[in-house]
């Protein structure tokens, strides 16, 4: 099968060819035809399998076949949970639309809104956005969604799981009832599917791989280790293995900062990326990591979605996630586009329950090793972290309560109480900068 056989226009085929793509991935082959038929689509596929092209290519094809309107109102809206993912999606949109008469832009919080507003005023066909900044600008009367024809939720499960449901419902009310809806993600739980079906209209369900399975080309391994010896073990693995590019996940922002400092003290160049970092610092850290100037990028789960790092060889779970699906997204940063990769998890006694849940989700037992000198504590409790224990330091142990939403996602508004009685528009703007 070729991209041409899917029915894409010649300008899009030229852009695809320029990128070096020859054959559509399974998710692209299955998703593009129903999108081109203007049907609602619910698509599930592993990270690194080309989901973004699966919706951007047919979206651009449809828009390019329709008359360009005078003032270029927003005709397609792509909503993502994080700034990094929004930026990555917009990069793809720009590359694929190079030979089309299509204008696009991206908006997210954490940066000055004026340049974003100026671009929108000039007219854009495709808008990629995070919920906070989108709602903020709309409430100020600086953009309109009344002419949207195609609505995309990228990483839909994460959007809903992070507590963005109310924001999504609000955004939907700002758009015409008659529109095409697309949901793309790597995982869909039963509860998330129920919510998705309440948004989609008679959707075509597309699955390129079994749901919630880890990418087969990724070599997964668990090191059982005492909680207090994790830092020493990860430094040993990176140093003795001479690893040049390592993405490390922690459960909390505080933990990311702390580990980053210890890495630097051990002579390993490192940077942290999480919701408390300014957008400039996040961009600088990611650029340094991609260029090789930064050897280790320590991140919270914000980086599990939207970081497209070609040929990333190593992902390390310094702390495994308490939400099993997040494990799939984390390790999916390696082994992309068919390349091999290694995912290592450092598991202490209190994470045993989380490990069992992950193995159940991916339907496999992960190989376990113990490194001499870093043995697990035989007397340590295997009780998991109690719900609310890390209330202000990430997603804590509360696995099932979506009501904790953005506050516990690590990207929430830590100043919500302080701002309770302030002007609503000022509060909304502060919230959007912190969470999107």
pLDDT of residue 138: 97
Class of the 4-207 domain?
alpha beta
Q: How far apart are CA 309 and CA 254, in angstroms?
A: 24
When pLDDT is cut at 50, 70 and 90, the band that residue 124 belongs to is very high
Spell out the residues 6+ positions from residue 245 whose beta carbon is closer than 8 angstroms to its own.
289, 292, 295, 309, 312, 313, 314
Residue 407 has pLDDT above 50, yes or no: no
Residue 218 has pLDDT above 80, yes or no: yes
pLDDT of residue 325: 79
Structural tokens at position 108: 């997210």
pLDDT of residue 162: 74
When pLDDT is cut at 50, 70 and 90, the band that residue 379 belongs to is confident
When pLDDT is cut at 50, 70 and 90, the band that residue 146 belongs to is very high
Spell out the residues 6+ positions from residue 399 whose beta carbon is closer than 8 angstroms to its own.
322, 323, 387
Mean of pLDDT values over 374-391: 73
Computed over every residue of the chain, the mean pLDDT equals 83
| Full-model pTM | 0.70
With beta carbons less than 8 A apart as the criterion, state whether 334 and 322 touch.
Answer: no
| CA terminus-to-terminus distance, the chain | 38
Residue 215 has pLDDT above 90, yes or no: no
Question: Regarding beta strands 341-347 and 367-369, do their DSSP bridges make them parallel or antiparallel, or are they unpaired?
Answer: unpaired
pLDDT of residue 213: 53
pLDDT tens for residues 87-119? 989 999 999 999 999 999 999 998 999 999 999
Residue 265 has pLDDT above 70, yes or no: yes
3-state secondary structure of 426: helix
3-state secondary structure of 264: helix
When pLDDT is cut at 50, 70 and 90, the band that residue 411 belongs to is very low
Percent of the chain's residues with pLDDT above 90: 53
Choice among 18-27, 166-175, 397-406 with the minimum mean pLDDT: 397-406
pLDDT tens for residues 271-304? 998 878 887 888 888 889 988 899 999 998 866 5
When pLDDT is cut at 50, 70 and 90, the band that residue 210 belongs to is low
Choice among 3-7, 278-282, 294-298, 393-397 with the minimum mean pLDDT: 393-397
Choice among 57-71, 91-105, 208-222, 295-309 with the minimum mean pLDDT: 208-222
CA dihedral for 189, 195, 199, 205, sign (positive or negative): positive
Higher pLDDT among residues 282 and 126, named by residue: 126
What architecture is the 218-369 domain classified under in CATH?
3-Layer(aba) Sandwich (3.40)
Cβ atoms within 10 Å of 118's Cβ, excluding its own: 10
Q: Which residues of 49-86 are buried (b: 16+ CB within 10 A; e: fewer)?
A: bbbbbbbbbbbbbbbbeeeeeeebbbbbbbbbbbbbbb
Q: Which of 69, 236, 214, 211 is nearest to 148 (CA)?
A: 69
Phi-psi region of 50 (alpha: psi -120 to 50; beta: other; left: phi over 0): left
Mean of pLDDT values over 140-146: 96
Cβ atoms within 10 Å of 219's Cβ, excluding its own: 13
pLDDT of residue 48: 66
Q: Where in the chain is the domain with CATH 3.40.50.300?
A: 4-207, 218-369
Residue 228 has pLDDT above 90, yes or no: yes
With beta carbons less than 8 A apart as the criterion, state whether 40 and 31 touch.
Answer: no
């Amino acid at each position: 099968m070729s991209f041409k056989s899917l029915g894409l226009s010649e300008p899009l085929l030229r852009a695809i060819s320029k990128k070096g793509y020859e054959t559509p991935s399974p998710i692209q082959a299955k998703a593009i035809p129903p999108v081109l038929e203007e049907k609602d689509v619910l698509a599930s596929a592993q990270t690194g399998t080309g989901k973004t092209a699966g919706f951007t290519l047919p979206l651009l094809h449809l828009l390019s076949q329709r008359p360009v309107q005078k003032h270029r109102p927003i005709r397609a809206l792509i909503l993502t949970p994080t700034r990094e993912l929004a930026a990555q999606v917009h990069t793809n949109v720009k590359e694929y639309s190079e030979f089309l008469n299509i204008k696009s832009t991206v908006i997210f919080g954490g940066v000055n809104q004026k340049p974003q507003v100026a671009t929108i005023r000039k007219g854009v066909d495709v808008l990629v956005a995070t919920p906070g900044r989108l709602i903020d600008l709309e409430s100020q009367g600086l953009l309109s969604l009344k002419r949207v024809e195609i609505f995309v939720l990228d990483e839909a499960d994460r959007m809903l799981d992070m507590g963005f449901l109310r924001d999504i419902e609000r955004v939907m009310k700002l758009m015409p009832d008659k529109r095409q809806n697309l949901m793309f993600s790597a995982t869909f739980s039963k509860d998330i599917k129920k919510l998705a079906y309440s948004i989609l209209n008679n959707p075509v369900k597309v699955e390129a791989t079994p749901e919630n399975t880890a990418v087969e080309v990724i070599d997964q391994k668990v090191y059982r280790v005492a909680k207090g010896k994790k830092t020493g073990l990860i430094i040993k693995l990176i140093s003795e293995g001479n690893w040049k590019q390592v993405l490390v996940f922690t459960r909390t922002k505080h933990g990311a900062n702390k580990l980053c400092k210890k890495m630097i003290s051990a002579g390993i160049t490192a940077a942290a990326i999480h919701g408390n970092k300014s957008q400039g610092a996040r961009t600088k850290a990611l650029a340094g990591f991609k260029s090789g100037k930064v050897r280790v990028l320590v991140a919270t789960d914000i980086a599990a979605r939207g970081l497209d790092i070609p040929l990333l060889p190593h992902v390390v779970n310094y702390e495994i996630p308490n939400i099993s699906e997040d494990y799939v997204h984390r390790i999916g940063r390696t082994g992309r586009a068919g390349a091999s990769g290694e995912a290592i998890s450092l598991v202490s006694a209190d994470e045993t329950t989380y490990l069992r849940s992950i193995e159940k989700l991916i339907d496999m037992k992960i190989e376990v090793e113990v490194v001499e000198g870093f043995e697990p504590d035989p007397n340590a409790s295997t009780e998991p972290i109690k719900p609310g224990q890390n209330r202000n330091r990430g997603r804590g142990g509360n696995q099932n309560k979506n009501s904790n939403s953005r506050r516990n996602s690590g990207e929430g508004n830590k100043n919500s109480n302080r701002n309770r009685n302030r002007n609503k528009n000022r509060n909304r703007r502060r919230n959007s900068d912190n969470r999107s």
